[in-house]
Chains A and B, each alone.
Chain A
Amino acid sequence: MSPFDRQVRAQIYRHIVASGLGPAATQLANARGWAPEEVEEAMRRLEHEHRIALVPDEPSVWMAHPFSGVDTEYRSTSNGRSWYANCAWDSLAILSLMGDGQAVVTRENDEVIWDVRNGVVTPGGVIHVQVPARHFWDDVGFT
């Protein structure tokens, strides 16, 4: 990654942590005084390198793992703030980064809630990953 791409990637995370949603290129550019077109190019490079995923056909962040930039059925809350996750694994990973709290998976007829306190997840359970690790980015939305 180039120094600028690193700055863009870090700014994406700052935006998601602060706002709970993924930024558009213009938001990143405005926050740091960057040229929007250069930010868009950096975002495309980052996506090509599998550092982030963009919303299809938009210069806007869909995924900056473990965060989702868009609303999903996976939501993690810590210290009064909330973020969307891409999957159950990411919902727990967000709490590993942001602190103790709750990871909630909400589906049409069901809800799963995990509490994390002092690094302990309750209740127990398992997560089943369907896609082998070497294929995670083949279709990251499916993964």
Chain B
Amino acid sequence: MASVQDFYDMSREWYANRMEEDWEPPTPEEATTLFARHGFVGSFWKLG
């Protein structure tokens, strides 16, 4: 559970270039780091 503002702020980074042809999905480590920057931490938000 997280605030709507935190979800919005995280989404700006998570989806930043999603629609571009050269988009690359983040590695699990990159994703975990990105989530953590916005307060999404812990095993729940761990990928891979």
Identify A10's interface contact among B3, B15, B19, CB under 8 A.
B19
Contact present for A96 and B1 (CB under 8 Å)? no
Contact present for A6 and B22 (CB under 8 Å)? yes
Contact present for B21 and A133 (CB under 8 Å)? no
Asked if B43 is an interface residue, CB under 8 A from chain A, the answer is yes
Contact present for A7 and B21 (CB under 8 Å)? yes
Asked if A70 is an interface residue, CB under 8 A from chain B, the answer is no
Total interface residues on B, using CB and 8 Å? 27
Total interface residues on A, using CB and 8 Å? 31
Identify B4's interface contact among A13, A126, A132, A134, CB under 8 A.
A126
Asked if A120 is an interface residue, CB under 8 A from chain B, the answer is yes
Contact present for A9 and B21 (CB under 8 Å)? yes
Distance between Cα atoms of A122 and B20 in the complex (Å): 29
Asked if A134 meets B21 with Cβ closer than 8 Å, knowing A97-B15, A127-B1, the reply is: no
Contact present for A127 and B11 (CB under 8 Å)? no
Residues of B within 8 A of A (CB): 1-5, 7-9, 11-12, 14-15, 18-23, 25, 31, 35, 43-48
Residues of A within 8 A of B (CB): 6-7, 9-10, 13-14, 17, 51, 65-66, 88-89, 92-93, 95-97, 114, 116, 119-121, 124-129, 132-134
Given contacts A97-B15, A134-B46, 11 further A-B contacts (CB under 8 A): A66-B11, A88-B4, A93-B7, A93-B15, A125-B4, A126-B3, A127-B3, A128-B1, A129-B1, A129-B44, A133-B47
